[in-house]
Every structure is written in structure tokens, then in C-alpha cells.
Structure 1
Amino acid sequence: MSVIINCIKKDNGNHENPYVAFKSMNWLNEADQKTGSANRVEMYDFVKDGGEDYVKDSAGNKAKLVAKTTDKGTKYVKTVADDVKSDNLLNFKECS
């Protein structure tokens, strides 16, 4: 299954890195239009287990998410680096 991230919710406070500040992410399965929300660890597990997840900016640029773990063992996802800043998960819009 492949899903696109619609928006993110960030947690307040100090974190090991900016990516672990994500509280949850809303997503859309473009194949069947199913929507949902997943917390940071659920999204990590989805990607780690072979699910495809990405963000898409208003111009249609896509960036794939990858599963990572901090030195302290904290699970998170981040976008694969490219030259397009608008498809970076850290710059993505906040959920209302």
C-alpha cells in the first residue's frame, strides 16, 4: 500500500532531532481514497514493513519517507533529501 501524507502535527518541547517532534501524520491512500492518522511510531512501522509513504508539494514534487532510528533508539520517519525544499516533511503544513 502506498499513502501520501496530507499534514503533520508536531509535539512541543525539546527533542533529539526535529523529526522526532512529529506527534502524528494524516494520510490518504490514493488507490482507494481511504484516509487515516498515524503516530510517529506507527508510521515508522508502516514504512519499515515495506509500506510506501511520501509527501507531495503543490507543484507535484514527491519525496519518499524512510524509517530511521536515533542513537537513543527513538523511531521516526523522514523524507529522502533532494534539491526541492517544498517536499520536505519538516516544512509540511500543520493539521488543523
Structure 2
Amino acid sequence: MADVQVTCITKPNTQSTHEHITHLGNPGGNWMWTREQVIQSIDAKTNTFYVMDSANGQRAYIGVVRETGKAPYVRTYADGRWNNNLLSLNQCPLK
């Protein structure tokens, strides 16, 4: 299993703080996956994904959130609680 750092995201509306994430990536690692691909990889335990918390330099791991009536989505989990570290990442560059 690979431990993969996410450094950017893509949202349909870049100004929205609550819009869903469509892609996650790392230009330095030369990859960008859809949210669905990341969820499948997490569920299959083929990769773990994380972001570096700029406030404390710690890893915040990405998990899958499932709520009744909603599509699964990804969110970071650190210090025993869900947080929004992903939404604070820069937009991924267009390919």
C-alpha cells in the first residue's frame, strides 16, 4: 500500500467553500485522480492519502464519509475529528 500526499484539488466552483471536490492530485508526483478513484482506492486499501497540515506539519489522513442519501465524499481526519484541510488546498493546474 502506498502512502500518497495530496497537494491540490479541483472543484467546479473555485470560490465556493462548500462545493464538492471532483479531483485530487499532486503535480509534483505527476498524478490527478477523480474523487471516485480515490474513494475506491481507500475502500480497497490499495493506498492511503493525506495532506500536510500547514499549521503543525502533521499529516491529516483522508477518509471516506458516507451519509444517508448523499454520494460518498472525502474529508481529512486528524486529532480524532473530521476537518476541512482538503478545501484549503490550491486548485490543481489544468492539464
Q: TM-score when scaled to structure 2?
A: 0.70
| 4+ long deviations beyond 6 Å | none
CA distance in 1, matches of 2:64, 2:30: 21
Amino acid at match of 1:5: V
Q: CA deviation at 1:57?
A: 3.6
Superposed, 1:37-76 pairs within 5 Å as 37-50=32-45, 51-58=47-54, 60-76=57-73
Counting only pairs closer than 5 Å after superposition, residues 2-17 of structure 1 correspond to structure 2 as 2-12=3-13
CA distance in 1, matches of 2:53, 2:4: 14
- What's the CA shift string for 1:14-65, capped at 9, x where partnerless? xxxx3x610101137xxxx853111111111111111211001445321001
Residues 53 and 65 of structure 1 are in contact (CA less than 8 Å); yes or no, is this contact kept in structure 2?
yes
Partner of 2:26: 27
CA RMSD of aligned residues (A): 2.9
Q: Percent sequence identity over matched residues?
A: 25
Unaligned stretches of 5+ residues in structure 1: 13-17
Gap runs ≥5 in structure 2: none
Cα distance, 1:75 vs structure 2: 1.7
**Partner-residue secondary structure (3-state), 2:91:** coil
Q: Which residue is 1:92 aligned to? A: 89
Q: 2:74 matched to 1:77?
A: yes
Contact 1:44–1:68 at 8 Å: present in 2 too? no
What is the TM-score with the length of structure 1 in the denominator?
0.70
